[in-house]
Amino acid sequence: MREITCQELQKRIHQVRIVDVRTPEEYTGELGHIAQAELVPLGPALIDFLKSQPLNEEIVFVCRSGARSGQTTLLSEEMGFTRTFNMIGGMLKWNELKFATEGT
């Protein structure tokens, strides 16, 4: 599984697509979300989303701690994606580093 640190993502934030796989409540909850992130919760919506994307699109998956986004990264790789990444540490780490968030 390919991974990216919060710091690396912060540097490349406008060059990649960021997909948050948490629930809508988490997306707007206390940890907030990365401003550029699209909400596509785990489940059927995420499968449909992945099926509709080009396999070479660069996507970084984000969740609370990195576990669900890690699962999503593995799934995307199994589906043939070649440029998907899991953000290590999730929004917990992003907040710990005091990077900007929205929705809180």
Residues 62-85 have pLDDT tens digits of 999 999 999 999 999 999 999 999
Say if residues 6 and 63 touch (Cβ distance below 8 Å).
Answer: no
Report the side by side order of strands in the sheet with 17-20: 3-4, 84-87, 59-62, 17-20, 38-39
Tell the burial category of 98 from Cβ atoms under 10 Å away from its Cβ (0-12, 13-18, 19+): exposed
Q: Which runs of E-coded beta strand occur in 5-102?
A: 17-20, 38-39, 59-62, 84-87
> Which residues of the chain fall short of a pLDDT of 70?
104
Q: Which tokens in the block code for residue 33?
A: 């979300």
Domains and CATH numbers, the chain: 3-96 (3.40.250.10)
pTM listed for this prediction: 0.96
Tell which residue, 50, 80, 55, 62, has the closest CA to residue 5. Answer: 62
